[in-house]
């Protein structure tokens, strides 16, 4: 004989409890995931003030980049202009130097003509000497026009910038007085083109007494 079991619902309770617990865990997991997502979103979001500051910095950076490029182009143009200026100046100086040489040579041609005439002359020796002296003065005048002039020597005090002492001689003259010019020196303007080679005095007081006795 079969016994009918009364189904009072107690058999379903364990299964329903598991399902409810499962749903609760899923809801908690979902809430936790949503919470983390919100936190991550909050972290990623940049405040408006920082956004504006970044934009301003980017604009400033772009402006500086543009200014840098403009300065670079200006520098390159100035450098090219300066190189062109140096080249033109060099050419002008070369042309001026060549022109100056031509003018000097033209001035010297008459001196050369007079020298040729003097060498060809067989007349009186005194007249020949007079002619050579005239040529010499003519030559000096031409050189003086270019800025060349002789350096004073004999009787002057020795100047190492303009004189070169080759000999020293005991003398009654003050120390370093130039006694003799061995080779003439020249100035070009105020620049020493060639120093004078000279003999200078080495002061000797005994010579002063000897000279007074004479």
196-203 and 163-171 beta bridge pairing: parallel
The CATH number linked to 209 is 2.30.22.10
- Residue range 114-138: average pLDDT? 79
pLDDT, tens digit, for every residue of 102-116? Answer: 777 777 778 777 787
201 close to 158: Cβ distance less than 8 angstroms: no
Local confidence band at 171 (pLDDT 50, 70, 90 cut-offs) = confident
Where among 146, 165, 184 does a domain terminate? 146
184 closest CA partner among 175, 192, 195: 195
Local confidence band at 140 (pLDDT 50, 70, 90 cut-offs) = confident
Pair (113, 133) in one structural domain:
yes
Q: Is residue 17 part of a domain?
A: no
**What is the reported pLDDT for 2?**
44
Q: Is residue 63 part of a domain?
A: yes
Where among 146, 167, 199 does a domain terminate? 146
Q: Is residue 31 part of a domain?
A: no
Pair (61, 137) in one structural domain:
yes
- In angstroms, rounded to a whole number, what is the distance separating the alpha carbons of residues 163 and 160? 5
- In angstroms, rounded to a whole number, what is the distance separating the alpha carbons of residues 200 and 162? 13
Where among 95, 123, 146 does a domain terminate? 146
| Domain count for the chain | 2
**Radius of gyration of the CA atoms of the chain, in A:** 55
**What is the reported pLDDT for 13?**
46
Q: Which domain holds residue 168?
A: 147-214
- Residue range 118-124: average pLDDT? 73
Pair (132, 84) in one structural domain:
yes
What is the share, in percent, of the chain residues with pLDDT greater than 90? 14
Q: Is residue 184 part of a domain?
A: yes
Tell me the pLDDT of the chain averaged across its residues: 76
DSSP 87-153: HHHHHHHHHHHHHHHHHHHHHHHHHHHHHHHHHH--S-HHHHHHHHHHHHHHHHHHHHHTTEEEPP-
Q: What is the DSSP letter of 157?
A: B
């Amino acid at each position: 004989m079969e016994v009918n079991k009364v189904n009072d619902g107690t058999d379903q309770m364990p299964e329903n409890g598991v399902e409810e617990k499962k749903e609760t865990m899923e809801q908690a997991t979902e809430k936790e995931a949503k919470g983390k997502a919100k936190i991550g979103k909050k972290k990623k979001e940049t405040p408006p003030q920082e956004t504006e500051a970044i934009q301003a910095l980017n604009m400033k950076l772009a402006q500086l980049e543009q200014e840098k490029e403009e300065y670079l182009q200006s520098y390159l143009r100035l450098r090219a202009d300066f190189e062109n200026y140096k080249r033109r100046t060099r050419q002008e100086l070369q042309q001026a130097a060549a022109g100056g040489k031509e003018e000097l040579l033209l001035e010297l041609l008459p001196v050369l003509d007079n020298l040729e005439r003097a060498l060809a002359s067989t007349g009186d020796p005194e007249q020949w000497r007079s002619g050579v002296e005239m040529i010499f003065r003519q030559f000096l005048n031409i050189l003086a026009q270019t800025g060349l002039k002789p350096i004073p020597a004999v009787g002057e005090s020795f100047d190492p910038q303009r004189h070169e002492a080759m000999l020293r001689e005991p003398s009654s003259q003050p120390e370093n007085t130039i006694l003799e010019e061995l080779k003439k020196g020249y100035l070009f303007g105020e620049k020493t083109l060639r120093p004078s080679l000279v003999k200078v005095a080495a002061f000797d007081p005994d010579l002063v007494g000897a000279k007074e006795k004479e």
